[in-house]
Amino acid sequence: MRIEQPWFLSAAAAIVLQILILAASPYTLAQPWDTLWHFLAYGGLTLLLWIATDGRHPLMVSAAAMLLGAMLGQLAPAAPAAALTAGALFLLQGKPRCVESLPR
């Protein structure tokens, strides 16, 4: 277990708490902004869970974000956000992080 892992899990828990609080709120955002906020929240949640699991459980991470969205009735923005974020991270996994780390 890396030292940073509990911090990423804490940040993911904070995003889940924000999603739950705003889902229970009687006040809602105007329509295009509501969907955009949910898309960004579920994408951020997927990213933090991916980092916390070190990319070892890609299906579990995206399924967890989609399941949370389905439980709250927000599957329309949650499913594409989780799938696109996990897909992009899966494609970038194992790539060099910067030009200096490329083989010469």
Q: What is the DSSP letter of 103?
A: -
* Residue 6 belongs to some domain of the structure: no
Hey, what long-range contacts does 39-44 have (CB within 8 A, 24 or more apart)?
A: 39/77, 39/80, 39/81, 40/81, 41/15, 41/81, 42/68, 42/69, 42/74, 42/77, 42/78, 42/81, 42/82, 42/85, 43/81, 43/82, 43/84, 43/85, 44/15
- The reported pLDDT for the residue numbered 96 is 62
Structure token pair of residue 22? 């705003």
Rounded to whole angstroms, the Cα distance separating 59 from 18 reads: 23
* Residue 5 belongs to some domain of the structure: no
* Residue 20 belongs to some domain of the structure: no
pTM: 0.79
* Residue 100 belongs to some domain of the structure: no
Instruction: Walk along the chain (104 residues) and give the pLDDT tens digit of each residue.
Output: 566 688 888 999 999 998 888 888 888 777 888 888 889 999 999 999 988 888 888 889 889 999 998 988 888 888 898 888 888 888 887 766 666 666 66
CA 57 to chain centre: 13
* Residue 99 belongs to some domain of the structure: no
Domain that holds residue 48: 31-92
